[in-house]
Amino acid sequence: MDVLSDVITAVRAGRPHSSRRTKYGPWGMRFPASEGAGFHVVLQGSAWLIPPGGTPPAVRLGVGDVVFLAHGRGHALADDPGTPLADVVPGPDGAWPTPADDPPPSAPAPVTQLLCGAYQLNRARAHPLLSHLPDVVHLPAGAGAHPALRSAIDLLGSELRTPLPGSDALVPALLDTLLLYILRTWWLGEQASSGPDGQPAGWSQALADPAVSAALTAVHDDPARSWTVADLGSLGGLSRAAFARRFTALVGEPPLAYLTWWRMTTAGRLLRADDAPLRSVAQRTGYTSEFAFAKAFKREYGMAPGQYRRQAG
């Protein structure tokens, strides 16, 4: 599995949720902070995204604009920054409610249609690719902009507008697809935004750099292998020292520290997923003995693997 797909698999928890909303001006909704991430798409009309405390400033959204809020911070949507806000109260499972559309007003009023969604994430093992995202990822619409993302939005919007047999299975799959397209679109945009040295800005440098990207892919593909820094550097044609410097600068930690982190993240996912023997989990994450695995796991998670599995169950 490639790095971006692995990141989503590792941090996702629970079932994503989505709804279409039709609002007539004036309207305003305040979304509380949460452990997950959320997105909004303007299908018709316009809206303002209002971050908490007014920092950064409110962002005007037009038809086709997408905003992704990766860190679960509270925010608001309104037809105007000055409109009073009504609180949106999430359900017990963290999902935003799916209210009935606003009743049409007696007098003509501006109409806004929104596509809103929420993802439940495991913040305890947040991957740096997600941790380094800005508070608000704004992907403006435009002629010919982000065609794959637009197609995913159209498919999801159609299923929510007119549910048909199979929609209950299709909608979560389309939400996962939409999340990947949002992150891919942001990542490609970051690659196109060069810094002073001509390199892409942000953590996406790691995925854009051939040597570091090759090492990350290798670690994600085969975390059980006894990787050395020299092995990983050779994948990109770099010496051990040159590779270690580049990897640490772009990823934010040394190669073997990232390898251990990813092994433990993978181990946690395996322990939650099934009841495979601890010996098998240890071998699949690069540990030759169950004792060494348990010691490393407890150092990372603060508890033994068996206790973690019981709590996760």
Segment 39-51, tens digit of pLDDT:
999 999 999 999 8
Q: Which residue has the higher pLDDT, 161 or 92?
A: 161
CB atoms within 10 A of CB 78: 23
What is the C-alpha to C-alpha distance for residues 36 and 13, in angstroms, rounded to an integer?
A: 9
CB atoms within 10 A of CB 110: 15
Q: CATH code for 3-192?
A: 2.60.120.280
Residue 196 pLDDT > 50: no
In our burial notation (b when 16+ CB lie closer than 10 A, e otherwise), range 251-289 reads: beeebeebbbbbbbbbbbbbbeeeeeebeebbbbbbbee
Segment 117-155, tens digit of pLDDT:
888 887 777 788 888 888 899 999 886 788 999 999 999
Instruction: Tally the C-alpha atoms within 13 A of residue 248's C-alpha that lie toward its C-beta.
Output: 10
Q: Is 209-313 a CATH 3.40.50.720 domain? A: no
Q: Which residue has the higher pLDDT, 184 or 98?
A: 184
**pTM of the predicted protein model:** 0.83
Segment 59-102, tens digit of pLDDT:
999 999 999 998 888 999 999 999 999 998 876 665 555 555 56
Of the candidates 302, 291, 292, the residue with the CA atom closest to the CA atom of residue 268:
302
- E strand segments, 98-215: 111-119, 137-139
pLDDT band with cut points at 50, 70 and 90 for residue 286: very high
User: What are the extents of the domains in the chain?
Assistant: 3-192, 209-313
